[in-house]
Structure 1
């Protein structure tokens, strides 16, 4: 296999007129062997959006569409059918809800996750610090600027205990071997160590050493835990950002933009060739023309002076034969920015690395309602929804175990990608055909009105309306027929005759 000719490992931080390398603050520690060196310059990747007009837009689209619509809790079992778990599940719900509400007092839970996603998409990996309370249970989540964090060499695997549920619904404990990650953060000259969330061992945050059996540690020296996630790459545990294949194009776009910018500083705005016959321009005129560039030369007059050669004077008139005239060069003047098509193609390639439709980055105005809905639906199915599920699964596996939660899980909401009018049209034949029940229609009604409705608990709510009304009419008809049959079978004379006899007896008694 041939070796690649170009491999960018050092990204140059660019500024107008100069470039300089951005140093990795961990450089001197990689050679010591206990810190894993990333494939890319992490410090430079943290600033990469300064050199791209599309990267940050794509990252913002990821942040807003993955977690920006909020969170929701849900039971991971059939709450109605399995009544034996309801009390525990309700406790789990309250506990998870309280944790998400108060896990950070400075910003919302989704705000922490947006920074987490920003780091992952920019650097290839991301970290969240988990802070435990006095009971040892995590109670707070804080974002860590991931470009200040590096992975340490993995230690030997240790035996951990996991709880699984078998096919009969019974919980069973199993043991397995697992390698846990260790992290180091450096800010300035300060170093702090972290362990991976779920690691049962105690780690000294100052020395990076695990506490041996029988040893004790000051609680202030105990390391906090980290939730780690990366964009998988087979040859580096840090992962690589999605745009890495388009990195050269991003740098090229930056250079093209700088070239266009420099035109206003150093470009020639005089589309003329100055031709001098029988003489030459004076040095002052040459200097004036040399300085006639950039914005300073716009809308200014040029006063040029020329002097004749000694043999070019007319002896008869004593006058010079020097002539100055101008040749138009408008066709070679830059009348618009250069590399416009190149810049446009590069934006498309970078956006394509994130699998985003142009509508998410504002790159087109050619959408109509149908194409916009289709683009949103495809991007939801292929990009955002899988990423939401992966992130929710990561957090649930980490947080539920640490919080002791079994029956409630976290989910991320998504946008509404369907047309309410089309939903109503699609539901009409099912409603008319007596298939849909009231509870089935509550979700659609909630989307139309922007509200959430609790399922109806009455028996009729789980029966199609047409079926329920038909059964009710049948029952009413049966009741009416039974009552009519009873009235016919009952002889009214059985009531009238005793009344007549009673009336005669009363009259006789009065006359006697």
Structure 2
């Protein structure tokens, strides 16, 4: 059977012509890019040092933050919502010691010369949600008093098989730590264990508190929530690389040109280029006449055919958008973060009560367990390291209240006579005003069963209420506390 000569090219939306071989070169380049997994800095040292190898490469997990914006935003959002909204001390007894409070506040407000407590907790939570593990370094004075707190990047630390020691490697440097509360000393250079107080303070290892996202597959390390959505991250990366490798360098293909029985020579390309760049812009009904020459030495009677086929670019682009949306939803679902909480507006999604309910679920199922975990760490530090017994550390919660909706609801209840002004104050968490007129009920601003004299008194009372509400708003800066 006679083999026909077939040439194929693409006419781009700007009128340029790209041969199929060019597109193939981009595909080969994309496929040929390195997929090497980052090296493990502890490779070859696990058996030598008695360390436990993690289930997954921590270096690779850490790098996922750099290649996917949805994963990055979800991790940052959870860290901020957990540890970045503020904290306070709560009394545990009826008559708490103010001296203990001063000691605790002095440490919590200055745990590190370069970082605030919020910075440290935030960094630990970023590691926790990107790698599944987070580490605090606890620094004590020679007498055992707590004097400092630091964050240690989780991808640089490995757990010893005795679970009492930890090793960190950064570049060529290696440092040992001991578990917080471990009664013996550990040499920070060699990792050797010795009786408490026997190692000089300058060689004594500091302590580590390890928090991890539990997995039944390991007693030593945790795993991040993103693992089930790794395929979505890879898929989104492949989609982005394909777009970048071709469409960033060329316009979008509009037609495919197939020439059968002849070559797509430069003269033919020039005719097509001139037609799409000039002729069709002057007259949309202009005709394209194309001639093509057979390859040299081809004397067959095979007819020459030239076909133009329009490409459905919109469908392809829509498919890419749907793929990206699916990947995004899978990543956010793995993290348990509502899209709008991560700064993503989804078209057609419901707001109002649905958004409040989603935030409440996110708060209870994702954020509060993380806050409880870090609060336990902080309270253990205060108790063991500083002897604080009358106060407990607490994080501020996410405010899930819709203030505007609440105001509209209270206004409606007031207008139909269901709520009195003092009832509204109580609902807002404020002290009621000692005025019987503000315990009355109104219907659309008119008091029930009131004489003219009483009406005047009521108006004066409402003016006082208005003044108080303005004063409250001014003192609080218009913000919910």
TM-score using structure 2 length? 0.69
Q: Using the TM superposition, give the Cα deviation of residue 216 of structure 1 relative to its aligned residue in structure 2, in angstroms.
A: 3.1
- 1:282-335 CA-to-partner distances (Å, cap 9, x unmatched) read 5x679x89xx9xxxxx9799998635767979xxxxxxx999774222136675
Change in 2 beyond 3 A, CA 1:41/1:76:
same
**Is 1:145 aligned to 2:153, yes or no?**
yes
Q: Using the TM superposition, give the Cα deviation of residue 417 of structure 1 relative to its aligned residue in structure 2, in angstroms.
A: 1.6
CA contact (8 A) 2:185 2:198 kept: no
Change in 2 beyond 3 A, CA 1:411/1:300:
farther
Change in 2 beyond 3 A, CA 1:326/1:266:
same
Equivalent residue number for residue 422 of structure 1: 406
**Is 1:396 aligned to 2:383, yes or no?**
no
Q: Pairwise mapping of residues 180-219 of structure 1 onto structure 2 (< 5 A)?
A: 181-212=164-195, 216-219=198-201
Q: Which runs of 5+ in 2 are unaligned?
A: 1-29, 280-287, 440-481
CA contact (8 A) 2:258 2:308 kept: no
Taking the aligned partners of 2:149 and 2:103, their CA distance within structure 1 comes to 15
CA RMSD of aligned residues (A): 4.0
Q: Using the TM superposition, give the Cα deviation of residue 255 of structure 1 relative to its aligned residue in structure 2, in angstroms.
A: 1.7
Task: Choose the corresponding residue for 1:336, options 313, 317, 333.
Answer: 317
Q: Which moved more, 1:107-116 or 1:353-362?
A: 353-362
Partner SS, residue 58 of structure 1: helix
Partner SS, residue 18 of structure 1: coil
Equivalent residue number for residue 72 of structure 2: 56
Equivalent residue number for residue 429 of structure 2: 444
CA contact (8 A) 1:355 1:383 kept: yes
Task: Choose the corresponding residue for 1:360, options 341, 365, 389.
Answer: 341
Task: Choose the corresponding residue for 2:256, options 272, 276, 289.
Answer: 272
Task: Choose the corresponding residue for 2:210, options 228, 236, 239.
Answer: 228
CA contact (8 A) 1:198 1:402 kept: no
Equivalent residue number for residue 127 of structure 2: 119
Change in 2 beyond 3 A, CA 1:280/1:219:
closer
CA contact (8 A) 1:132 1:139 kept: yes
Q: Pairwise mapping of residues 21-40 of structure 1 onto structure 2 (< 5 A)?
A: 21-32=37-48, 34-40=50-56
- 1:357-405 CA-to-partner distances (Å, cap 9, x unmatched) read 2211214143433332222222222222232122212221233211111
**Is 1:260 aligned to 2:243, yes or no?**
yes
CA contact (8 A) 2:142 2:201 kept: no
Partner SS, residue 26 of structure 1: coil
Taking the aligned partners of 1:227 and 1:207, their CA distance within structure 2 comes to 20
Change in 2 beyond 3 A, CA 1:402/1:15:
farther
Taking the aligned partners of 2:295 and 2:51, their CA distance within structure 1 comes to 75
Partner SS, residue 27 of structure 1: coil
Taking the aligned partners of 1:375 and 1:195, their CA distance within structure 2 comes to 41
CA contact (8 A) 2:189 2:203 kept: yes
Higher relative contact order (CA 8 A, sep 6+): 2
CA contact (8 A) 1:52 1:254 kept: yes
Task: Choose the corresponding residue for 1:347, options 308, 312, 328.
Answer: 328
Taking the aligned partners of 2:303 and 2:61, their CA distance within structure 1 comes to 59
Task: Choose the corresponding residue for 2:388, options 401, 405, 409.
Answer: 405
Equivalent residue number for residue 44 of structure 1: 60
**Is 1:71 aligned to 2:79, yes or no?**
no
CA contact (8 A) 2:254 2:311 kept: no
Higher radius of gyration, 1 or 2: 1
Taking the aligned partners of 2:139 and 2:277, their CA distance within structure 1 comes to 64
Equivalent residue number for residue 157 of structure 1: none
Q: Which runs of 5+ in 1 are unaligned?
A: 1-13, 80-85, 155-179, 293-297, 314-320, 447-460, 470-512
Equivalent residue number for residue 36 of structure 2: 20
Q: Pairwise mapping of residues 155-194 of structure 1 onto structure 2 (< 5 A)?
A: 181-194=164-177
- 1:452-492 CA-to-partner distances (Å, cap 9, x unmatched) read xxxxxxxxx9x9988xx9xxxxxxxxxxxxxxxxxxxxxxx
Q: Using the TM superposition, give the Cα deviation of residue 97 of structure 1 relative to its aligned residue in structure 2, in angstroms.
A: 0.7
TM-score using structure 1 length? 0.65
Taking the aligned partners of 1:270 and 1:394, their CA distance within structure 2 comes to 60
CA contact (8 A) 1:253 1:343 kept: yes
**Is 1:97 aligned to 2:78, yes or no?**
no
Q: Pairwise mapping of residues 420-499 of structure 1 onto structure 2 (< 5 A)?
A: 420=403, 422=406, 425=410, 441=426, 444-445=429-430
